[in-house]
A and B are shown apart, each in its own frame.
Chain A
Amino acid sequence: MALPSAKPQVFAPWNDPEAKPLIRIEGVSKSFGDFHAVNKVDLDIYPGEFFSLLGASGCGKTTLLRMLAGFETPTEGRISIDGVDMTSIPPYERPINMMFQSYALFPHMTVAQNVAFGLKQDRVPKRLIGNKVREVLDLVQMSRFAERKPQQLSGGQRQRVALARCLAKEPKVLLLDEPLAALDKKLREQTQLELVNIQDRVGITFVMVTHDQEEAMTMSARIGVMNAGSIEQIGTPVEIYEYPTTTFVADFIGTANMFDGVVSLEEQNRTVVDCSELETQLTVGHASGVAVGAPVTVMVRPEKMTVQREKPDPRINCVHGVVSDIAYLGDISIYHVRLESGRKVQVALTNLRHTSEQRLTWDDEVYLTWHPANSLVLVQ
Chain B
Amino acid sequence: MTATTPSSTAPHPRPGPALRAALLRRWGRALVGMPPYAWLLLFFLIPFLIVLKISFSEPQAAIPPYVPLFSWAGDQILQIRLNLGNYGYLFSDELYVAAYLNSLKIAGISTVFCLLIGYPMAYAIARAPKTVRNPLLMLVVLPFWTSFLIRVYAWMGILKNEGLLNSFLLWTGIIHAPLQMLETDFAVYVGIVYSYLPFMILPLYATLEKMDLSLLEAAADLGCRPFRAFLNVTLPLSIPGMVAGSMLVFIPAVGEFVIPDLLGGPDTLMIGKVLWSEFFDNRDWPAASAVAVAMLVLLVAPIMVFQHYQNKTSEAGR
- Say if A and B assemble together: yes
Contact surface of A with B, Cβ cutoff 8 Å: 69-71, 90-93, 96-98, 100, 102, 104-108, 117-118, 121-122, 149, 151, 165, 169
What is the CB-to-nearest-CB distance from A302 to chain B, in angstroms, rounded to a whole number? 40
Find out whether the CB atom of B218 lies under 8 angstroms from the CB atom of A92. no
Find out whether the CB atom of B218 lies under 8 angstroms from the CB atom of A100. yes
Find out whether the CB atom of B214 lies under 8 angstroms from the CB atom of A102. yes
Chain B 186-228 interface mask (CB, 8 Å, partner A; 1/0): 0000000000000000000000000010110111111111001
Q: How many A-B contacts are there with CB distance less than 8 Å? A: 59
Q: CB within 8 A of B215: which of A91, A96, A104, A121?
A: A104
Contacts A102-B214, A108-B237 given; does A90 touch B220 at CB 8 Å? yes
Q: Compute how far the CA of A132 lies from the CA of B146 in the bound complex, rounded to whole angstroms.
A: 60
What is the CB-to-nearest-CB distance from A332 to chain B, in angstroms, rounded to a whole number? 40
What is the CB-to-nearest-CB distance from A336 to chain B, in angstroms, rounded to a whole number? 43
Which of A71, A96, A117, A151 counts the most B-chain CB atoms under 10 A from its CB? Answer: A117
Write out the residue numbers on chain B whose beta carbons fall within 8 Å of the beta carbon of A102.
Answer: 212, 214
What is the CB-to-nearest-CB distance from A205 to chain B, in angstroms, rounded to a whole number? 16
Find out whether the CB atom of A92 lies under 8 angstroms from the CB atom of B221. yes
Residue B296 CB within 8 A of the other chain: no
Write out the residue numbers on chain B whose beta carbons fall within 8 Å of the beta carbon of A118.
Answer: 222-223
Residue B130 CB within 8 A of the other chain: no
Contacts A149-B316, A151-B317 given; does A107 touch B224 at CB 8 Å? no
Find out whether the CB atom of A97 lies under 8 angstroms from the CB atom of B221. yes
Residue B308 CB within 8 A of the other chain: no
Contacts A149-B316, A151-B316 given; does A104 touch B218 at CB 8 Å? yes
Additional A-B contact list (4), CB under 8 Å, known A70-B220, A92-B224: A69-B221, A106-B215, A108-B237, A151-B318
Q: Compute how far the CA of A91 lies from the CA of B237 in the bound complex, rounded to whole angstroms.
A: 22
Residue B33 CB within 8 A of the other chain: no
Residue B64 CB within 8 A of the other chain: no
Which of A69, A118, A169 counts the most B-chain CB atoms under 10 A from its CB? Answer: A118
Find out whether the CB atom of B222 lies under 8 angstroms from the CB atom of A165. yes
Q: Compute how far the CA of A71 lies from the CA of B237 in the bound complex, rounded to whole angstroms.
A: 22
Q: Compute how far the CA of A281 lies from the CA of B50 in the bound complex, rounded to whole angstroms.
A: 102
Find out whether the CB atom of B215 lies under 8 angstroms from the CB atom of A122. no
Tell me the nearest residue of chain B to A108, going by C-beta.
B236
Q: How many residues of B contact A (CB 8 A)?
A: 20
What is the CB-to-nearest-CB distance from A209 to chain B, in angstroms, rounded to a whole number? 15
Write out the residue numbers on chain B whose beta carbons fall within 8 Å of the beta carbon of A91.
Answer: 217, 220-221
Residue B233 CB within 8 A of the other chain: yes
Which of B215, B220, B224, B237 counts the most A-chain CB atoms under 10 A from its CB? Answer: B220
Write out the residue numbers on chain A whose beta carbons fall within 8 Å of the beta carbon of B318.
Answer: 151
What is the CB-to-nearest-CB distance from B127 to chain A, in angstroms, rounded to a whole number? 16
What is the CB-to-nearest-CB distance from A30 to chain B, in angstroms, rounded to a whole number? 17
> Which 3 residue pairs spanning A and B have beta carbons closest together?
A118-B222, A104-B218, A121-B223
Find out whether the CB atom of A104 lies under 8 angstroms from the CB atom of B212. yes
Write out the residue numbers on chain A whose beta carbons fall within 8 Å of the beta carbon of B221.
Answer: 69, 91-92, 96-98
* Chain B, range 274-318, C-beta contacts under 8 Å to A: 316-318
Q: Compute how far the CA of A122 lies from the CA of B222 in the bound complex, rounded to whole angstroms.
A: 9
Chain B 218-259 interface mask (CB, 8 Å, partner A; 1/0): 111111110010001100110000000000000000000000
Find out whether the CB atom of A121 lies under 8 angstroms from the CB atom of B224. yes
Which of B218, B225, B236, B317 counts the most A-chain CB atoms under 10 A from its CB? Answer: B218
Tell me the nearest residue of chain B to A177, going by C-beta.
B214
Q: Compute how far the CA of A69 lies from the CA of B215 in the bound complex, rounded to whole angstroms.
A: 14
Tell me the nearest residue of chain B to A101, going by C-beta.
B214
Q: Compute how far the CA of A96 lies from the CA of B219 in the bound complex, rounded to whole angstroms.
A: 12
Write out the residue numbers on chain B whose beta carbons fall within 8 Å of the beta carbon of A149.
Answer: 316
Write out the residue numbers on chain A whose beta carbons fall within 8 Å of the beta carbon of B218.
Answer: 98, 100, 104-106
What are 11 sample pairs from A and B whose C-beta atoms fall under 8 A apart? A69-B221, A71-B217, A71-B220, A96-B221, A106-B215, A106-B219, A117-B224, A121-B224, A122-B223, A149-B316, A169-B222
What is the CB-to-nearest-CB distance from A113 to chain B, in angstroms, rounded to a whole number? 10
Write out the residue numbers on chain A whose beta carbons fall within 8 Å of the beta carbon of B217.
Answer: 69, 71, 91, 98, 100, 104
What is the CB-to-nearest-CB distance from A177 to chain B, in angstroms, rounded to a whole number? 10
Find out whether the CB atom of A121 lies under 8 angstroms from the CB atom of B228. yes
What is the CB-to-nearest-CB distance from A132 to chain B, in angstroms, rounded to a whole number? 13
Find out whether the CB atom of B222 lies under 8 angstroms from the CB atom of A97. yes
Tell me the nearest residue of chain B to A104, going by C-beta.
B218
Q: CB within 8 A of A104: which of B214, B223, B228?
A: B214
What is the CB-to-nearest-CB distance from A64 to chain B, in angstroms, rounded to a whole number? 16
Write out the residue numbers on chain A whose beta carbons fall within 8 Å of the beta carbon of B222.
Answer: 92, 97, 117-118, 121, 165, 169
What is the CB-to-nearest-CB distance from B194 to chain A, in angstroms, rounded to a whole number? 32
Write out the residue numbers on chain B whose beta carbons fall within 8 Å of the beta carbon of A117.
Answer: 219, 222, 224, 232
Tell me the nearest residue of chain A to B317, going by C-beta.
A151
Find out whether the CB atom of B228 lies under 8 angstroms from the CB atom of A100. no
Find out whether the CB atom of A169 lies under 8 angstroms from the CB atom of B223. yes
Write out the residue numbers on chain B whose beta carbons fall within 8 Å of the beta carbon of A93.
Answer: 223
